[in-house]
Structure 1
Amino acid sequence: MVARKASELLSGLIEPSCEQIQMKLEDARKGFNHKIVILDDDPTGVQTVHGVSVYTDWTEESIKQGFREQNQIFFLLTNSRSFTAEETAVVHQDIARRVHEVSLQEGIPYLLVSRGDSTLRGHYPLETETMKNTIEEISNTKFDGEILIPFFKEGGRLTIDNIHYVQYGEELVPASETEFAKDRTFGFNSSHLGEWIEEKTKGVYPKEDTIYISIEDLRSQNIEAIKAQLMEAENFKKVVVNAAVYSDVEVFVIALLQVMKAGKTFIFRSAASLTKVLGGISDKPFLSRVELITEETSNGGLIVVGSHVQKTTDQLCALLNSGLVTGVEFNVHLVHDDEKFQQEINRVRITCEELITSGKSVVYYTRRERLDLGVNQGESELQLSVKISQAVTSIVTDLKVRPKYIVAKGGITSSSVGTVGLSVKRAEVVGQIKPGVPVWKTGEESKFPRSSFIIFPGNVGTTDTLKEIIEVLEGKPVNAMKDF
C-alpha cells in the first residue's frame, strides 16, 4: 500500500451543510443526559476540548466529583500506555466498577470512552474488553457493540475506505507504514481497521464480521442506513467509523444517539475528536500568551523532551537551532551506573535552575540515540525505560525555582511530569495552543499552582510546531499558518 494524495482520496466526497447537521445534532442530544467518562491512556486525549476537568487518579471521590460537575464530560488520566498488561487490567476493572457504582448512587447513566492513540498504539483490546466484562459481571448491562473511531483531524489522522491514514503534508500514509506501527510494545501490521481488529484480537473478531460505517453514507446524511447498521450490533460487535472531517463524526453521533434511545449499548475506543462531538464542546481560538502567562516573572520557561519518535527529534532540532532556548542534553545512557546517573540527574537539574533564574528558557532532553540492549532484552529495556522516565520526572519534582511555563513533549513524559513532577490531582483544560496541543491550568494542590502546563504529544505537529509554541510563550512573532 502506498501513500496517496489527500485530495485524491477525498475527491467526489462533498461535505454536507454544517448548519443542517448542527440542527439535527442538537435535536438528537435532547434527552441525552449520560455522563461521559473518558479514560485517557496518556494526557494528550484532551487535544480537542476546553473547560473540562482532568482527574489524575480514579478514586471513588474523584469519580463522584466528576459526576457531580455541571459538565457532561470529564477525563480520568490512567496513563495506561506506560503500564504492563496486568496493571492495565487491574486499573480498568477498578474504574469500571467504581463508575458503575457511582452512576447508581448519583442516578446518572454513563458512557465509557477509552481514548487511545490516533496512530493505533495502546492496550487494545484489553482496556475495553476489561471494562465490558467487569460491568457485565456486576450488572444486567449487556454491551451490543464497540465503536472504533481513531479519526483525529487536528493531528491529520483520517479513516477512508476503512484504511487509517497519517497525514504528512499533502500525503496520506497508511498507518501501518509509519514509524508508529513499529512501536516495540504496541506495533501492528495492518492499516485496514477491520484487519487491525482481527490482528489485535487474534482472530476472535474477523474483519468480515465488522460493521463499517462508510463516508458515503455519512456525507449523504443517510441516518436511517447508519442506524440500521448499528441496530444489527450484538455480542460486542465491532463498528468501524470512517471519518475525514468533523461533520462525518457529527452525522454518526446523530445516528448513534438515536439508536441509544432505542436501547442499544456501546463502549467506545476513539482518538480525541469523538470526545469533542459527544461532549458538545464548542470551537475555541488558540490560546494567546496573555492567557497562558498570567503571572509575569523574570524567570525563564522549562521544556522537557522525552519522546523519541522522529517527529519529536526533528522538532527539537528546529527549536535548538532557533536560539529561543538553551539546550541541556540528559545523557540517559549512564543509567547502567547508579552513581554516575545520579550525578547526571543533579547536573541537569542544577543547570536548568541556574538558567531559569537568570531569565533564560531551557529545554532538557534525553539523548536521542535509543538505548538498545540487543535481541530478546525487552524486559530489561522496559525496566531501564521506567528508571529513565522516573529520572526525567525527578528533575521537575526537585526543581527549586518556578518557571514561567512548562512544556512536556511526549505522552508518557507529559503524564509523569504532570502527575508526579507537578503533583497535579485535578486540572482544568483551558484549550489548545496549537492544533492537537492542549494546555492544563494546574490546581491549587500542585507544585506550581495555576501554572500553564503545555502537553505536546510526540506524534503531533510539523517540524516547526515546537519552535512556534515557544515563540508564542516567549512573545516572539509566529507564523500560525504552517500547521495542518
Structure 2
Amino acid sequence: MTTKPKIIVLDDDPTGSQTVHSCLLLTRWDVETLRLGLTDDSPIFFVLTNTRALTPEEAADVTREVCHNLKLALESEQIQDFLVVSRSDSTLRGHYPVETDAIAAELGPFDAHFLVPAFFEGGRFTRDSVHYLIVNGVPTPVHETEFARDSVFGYHHSYLPDYVEEKTKGRIEADAVERFLLADIRSGSQERLMKLADNQCGVVDGETQADLNRFAADILTAASQGKRFLFRSAASILTALAALPPQPIAAEDMAKYVREGKPGAVIVGSHVKKTTEQLERLLQEEGIVGIEVDVSHLLDEEEVQRTALLDKTLKTLQDIHADGKTPVVYTSRQELTFNDTQTRLQFGVAVSTLLMDIVRGLPDDIGFLISKGGITSNDVLSTGLALTSARLLGQILAGCSMVRTPTDHPQFPNLPVVLFPGNVGDADALATIYRRLSAK
C-alpha cells in the first residue's frame, strides 16, 4: 500500500476549497502554521495567499516566502511525498506564470507543470485544449467572456497552448505544450506522464469529474514512482487528487452549525454582474435588510468621511440585528474607473479595509456570516476574524465552502462562515444559502 502524497494548495483567493471538506485553511504561512497543515489528518490543506489581490512582484514575493517556509516545514516533518497546486481562477485570471515560476524555483525541480482550469460546479470545462464557460446554457470559449477583458488579468486565447505562449511572453511556445486530450485521459496517461521532464508544460482536458479522477489516479501512480509534478488549476482537480468521502453534514442540513439558531450577517464585496443579480434576489427575502455602503466616498481619502461612513454603517447594522433580522452590507454597485492598475488595486485595499472594520464591528452573537467575493472572503478570514487557520466543514452549495472559527476565538467562537466566490451559482444562490442557514 503506497501512502498518498500530501496535497499542498497555494490558493490565490480562499475559494479554491470549494469542492472539498474537513481540511484546514491556513491564513498564515510561518513554519509552525504550515506544520499544522502537514501533520493534519486530511490528505489536503490550503494556504490562503490572496495573491490575486496583489501586483505581480508582490505575488512572486509572497509565493517565494510560502515555499521557503514550506521547505523548512517539510524537512522538519520529514515529508518527501507531496504535490503542489497553485490554485487560481477557473476563468484563467491570475498571476501565471509568475506563481508557478516562483514555486518551481523554491521547491523544484519538477518534471512537469499542468494547467487544469476545469471547474465543473462553476460550468467550466476543457475540450480539445479549449477552455469553455457555460453562459446561459451555451458553452462559450472563455476569451469571449467578460473575464478575458479583466483590467488586471486580461487575455486573448481560450486555446490553452496559445494562452500559455501569451502569458509566458513566448518563453513557452504553443507547439511545445503537451496536450492531454479527453481520449488520452480516458484511455490512460501513465506512460506519457513517466516520460515528462524539465518542468514540461502540459494542458489537461476535462468534461466531467470522472475525467479528472482518471487523470489524478495516473498522476498519483506516477508520483509514487518518483515523478514530481506541479499544478496550476481550478478546484475540480483537487476533488480528484484528495478523493474524500462525502462531507459529514449534508448541504441542506448545515443550519445545524448556526450558533443558537440566531440571525446572521452578510458581507458583499464582489461587484461582478452575477453577484449583483444574486444580491437583488437576496434583498427580497423575508428577514433581510440591506445596507448599501457608498464606496465612492473613499476616493477622496478623507479619514473623517471614512470614519463617519463606518460609524453610520455599524449603527444601522446593530439596530437591524437587535430587531432579529439579518443585515446585508454591500458595496455600491456602480463600476468606478481608474487611471491605472495601481490606483485600482489601492482603491480595492481601501474598500476591503472598510469592510473588515465592519466585520470586526459585527454583534458578537450573530449566528452565521456569509462572505460574498473571493478577495473579500480571504480578508474576512485573515483580517476581519484574524484567524491563523479555520476548519473547512464542507460545501453549503456547489462551489460555496463553509468554515468554522476555532472554539477559542476571542470574539466569534465556533462561528460558521460561508465563503462564496463572486462567479458561482445561479441568480438564487445567495438566497438559497440564506434560507438554508435560517431554516428552523
TM-score, length of structure 1 as denominator length:
0.86
Task: Give 1:27's aligned residue.
Answer: none
Task: Give 1:134's aligned residue.
Answer: 106
Task: Give 1:313's aligned residue.
Answer: 276
| 1:445 shift after superposition | 4.4
Q: Does structure 1 conserve the Cα–Cα contact (< 8 Å) formed by 2:118 and 2:126?
A: yes
| 1:169 shift after superposition | 4.2
2:183 partner amino acid:
E
Q: 1:399 to 1:293 in 2, by over 3 A?
A: closer
Task: Give 1:462's aligned residue.
Answer: 426
Q: Does structure 2 conserve the Cα–Cα contact (< 8 Å) formed by 1:324 and 1:470?
A: no
2:96 partner amino acid:
Y
Does 1:389 find its partner at 2:367? no
Q: 1:288 to 1:169 in 2, by over 3 A?
A: farther
Q: In 2, Cα distance between the equivalents of 1:32 and 1:211?
A: 28
Q: In 2, Cα distance between the equivalents of 1:314 and 1:135?
A: 42
Task: Give 2:126's aligned residue.
Answer: 159
Corresponding residue to 2:246 among 283, 286, 304: 283
Question: Would you say how many aligned residue pairs link Structure 1 and Structure 2?
Answer: 434
Task: Give 1:264's aligned residue.
Answer: 227
Does 1:172 find its partner at 2:153? no
Q: Give SS of 2:260's match.
A: coil
| 1:398 shift after superposition | 2.5
Does 1:63 find its partner at 2:34? yes
Q: Give SS of 1:44's match.
A: coil
Q: 1:404 to 1:162 in 2, by over 3 A?
A: same
Q: Write out aligned runs for 1:50-449 (5 A).
A: 50-109=21-80, 110-136=82-108, 142-219=109-186, 222-223=187-188, 226-284=189-247, 285-297=250-262, 300-335=263-298, 336=300, 337-373=302-338, 376-446=339-409, 447-449=411-413
Q: In 2, Cα distance between the equivalents of 1:467 and 1:250?
A: 32
Q: Does structure 2 conserve the Cα–Cα contact (< 8 Å) formed by 1:79 and 1:412?
A: yes
Task: Give 1:21's aligned residue.
Answer: none
Q: In 1, Cα distance between the equivalents of 2:204 and 2:287?
A: 42
Q: 1:170 to 1:400 in 2, by over 3 A?
A: closer
1:275-326 CA distance string (max 9 Å, x none): 12211212333252432314233xx311111101100011111111334411
Q: Give SS of 2:333's match.
A: coil
1:42 partner amino acid:
D
Q: In 2, Cα distance between the equivalents of 1:296 and 1:313?
A: 27
TM-score, length of structure 2 as denominator length:
0.95
2:356 partner amino acid:
T
Q: In 1, Cα distance between the equivalents of 2:255 and 2:268?
A: 24
Percent identity over the alignment? 36
Q: In 1, Cα distance between the equivalents of 2:424 and 2:259?
A: 26
What is the aligned-residue RMSD (CA, Å)? 1.6
Q: In 1, Cα distance between the equivalents of 2:126 and 2:390?
A: 31
Q: Does structure 1 conserve the Cα–Cα contact (< 8 Å) formed by 2:115 and 2:232?
A: yes
Q: In 1, Cα distance between the equivalents of 2:296 and 2:259?
A: 38
Uncovered stretches (5+) of structure 2, i.e. residues with no partner: none
Uncovered stretches (5+) of structure 1, i.e. residues with no partner: 1-29, 137-141, 477-484
1:274 partner amino acid:
I
Q: Does structure 1 conserve the Cα–Cα contact (< 8 Å) formed by 2:217 and 2:241?
A: no
1:362 partner amino acid:
P
Q: In 1, Cα distance between the equivalents of 2:224 and 2:392?
A: 30
Q: Does structure 1 conserve the Cα–Cα contact (< 8 Å) formed by 2:259 and 2:366?
A: no
| 1:379 shift after superposition | 1.9
Q: Give SS of 1:322's match.
A: coil
| 1:75 shift after superposition | 1.0
Q: In 1, Cα distance between the equivalents of 2:236 and 2:152?
A: 25
2:212 partner amino acid:
V
Q: Does structure 1 conserve the Cα–Cα contact (< 8 Å) formed by 2:8 and 2:84?
A: yes
